[in-house]
Amino acid sequence: MSQKAKGKYDSPLAATYKGISDLFKKQERVGVLDPSDRLDGKKVLITGSSSGLGLATAKKLAGLGAEVIMAVRSGIPEKGEEVKKASGSELIHMHHVDLSDFDSIRNLVDEIESTHKKIDILICNAAVVSKKARKTKHDLEEMFSVNYLAKFVLVNLLLDKDCFNTFGGNIPRIIFVSSESHRNPEEFEWDDFGVFKDYSMGKSVERYGYYKLLMTTFSQELSRRLNNGEQTNYSSFALCPGPVNSNIAREAPALFQPLLKVIFKIFFRSPEKASEPVVYLAASKDVEGKTDDYLFLMSRKEVDTKASDQQNGKRLWAMTEDFLKQQNDSIVIGAF
């Protein structure tokens, strides 16, 4: 049965209320990071690490010994300096990427291939909540492009260029920062997949949830494609960090900003605290050799059945491939 939460993420107000009320529900903790869960010698690529959850995660992972590659649209070099200072590590690199631009994603992957060769962990963290439908330079809707399509392109390009470290049985981890709002949509919009749809602020949270559903479905299908059932070659994990006091509502109307700031500060979790499930999935030995795990805060949950459904996963993958092939030549992925 699909765990519908229709109505609970239909508006910014409803989503805020749902996020806060979820924090007070009893959760069964999946585990804790052990002091021996170190990441020395591991390379982590993390998108959206200029702000909020991504920045906090970069600091924590650097503190655990990882070489952190920050793929960001802004904050070069100051956010990297901030991570160095907070972690005491010098193993921090920064690369520019605009995830709404497929040429920029391709450049990023070329740089990863030439500079860092192989990565052990990829964290697809960046996302946007736009106040209205906007077109990217490829004439695609920005949230569809950044919050879903960019992940599909980035992961497939990295796989295509053999950028994951699988040497000596190493199992790379691919982690998708999702949201419980992925449960909100009642169904997939197969008939007009990727077609630009106009919307304004009132619908933006609903659209955001739909793209989180696409991304979560992709994370499950990716896991099936990369693994043979008995043996895990790659871990594909997803999580919802719960409500985070970040810059995610930066496009909310100016009138509401002061109130939102107060609500976020009082009720939402700090990015440092909220990064716990991301860091756990990246570093814990408990999840070594596993795949498909989905954490909500620090509790393990099933993803929505629409996202775990194999037919949906296959269909989404095929439609995304076809969609990309129909676009401007520059965004077609060689691997297909």
Ligand X SMILES: NC(=O)c1ccc[n+]([C@@H]2O[C@H](COP(=O)([O-])OP(=O)(O)OC[C@H]3O[C@@H](n4cnc5c(N)ncnc54)[C@H](OP(=O)(O)O)[C@@H]3O)[C@@H](O)[C@H]2O)c1
| Number of Cβ atoms within 10 Å of the Cβ of 168 | 5
Q: How distant, in Å, are the alpha carbons of 64, 95, 209, 263, 264 from that of 256?
A: 38, 34, 21, 11, 12
Residue 259 or 318: the one with the smaller Cβ distance to ligand X is 259
Residue 98 or 304: the one with the smaller Cβ distance to ligand X is 98
Least distance CB 158 / ligand X (angstroms): 16
Least distance CB 215 / ligand X (angstroms): 9
DSSP string, 88-147: ----EEEEE--TT-HHHHHHHHHHIIIII--BSEEEE------SS--B-TTS-BHHHIII
Q: Which residues bind ligand X (CB under 6 A)?
A: 19, 48, 50-54, 73-74, 97-100, 125-128, 146, 177, 179, 240-241, 243-244, 246-248
| Number of Cβ atoms within 10 Å of the Cβ of 28 | 8
Least distance CB 71 / ligand X (angstroms): 7
Residue 101 or 292: the one with the smaller Cβ distance to ligand X is 101
Residue 126 or 171: the one with the smaller Cβ distance to ligand X is 126
Tokens representing 145 are 């492009």
Least distance CB 99 / ligand X (angstroms): 4
Residue closest to 114 by CA, chosen among 161, 47, 67: 161
DSSP string, 205-245: HHHHHHHHHHHHHHHHHHHHHH--SSS-SSEEEEEE--SB-
Least distance CB 89 / ligand X (angstroms): 20
Tokens representing 254 are 């100016």
Least distance CB 155 / ligand X (angstroms): 15
Residue 1 or 266: the one with the smaller Cβ distance to ligand X is 266
Least distance CB 293 / ligand X (angstroms): 16
Residue 127 or 171: the one with the smaller Cβ distance to ligand X is 127
For residue 79, give every residue at least 6 positions away whose Cβ sits within 8 Å of its Cβ, in sequence order, or none: 49, 50, 51, 55, 70, 72, 94
Tokens representing 236 are 């594909």
Residue 227 or 267: the one with the smaller Cβ distance to ligand X is 267
Residue 243 or 313: the one with the smaller Cβ distance to ligand X is 243
Within 13 Å of residue 179, how many CA atoms lie on the same side as its CB?
32
Least distance CB 85 / ligand X (angstroms): 18
Residue 74 or 257: the one with the smaller Cβ distance to ligand X is 74
Within 13 Å of residue 222, how many CA atoms lie on the same side as its CB?
27
Please tell me the total number of residues recorded for the chain in this structure.
Answer: 336
Least distance CB 52 / ligand X (angstroms): 2
Is residue 191 classed as helix, strand or coil in its secondary structure? helix
Distance between CA atoms of 24 and 93, rounded to whole angstroms? 38
Residue closest to 70 by CA, chosen among 52, 55, 90: 55
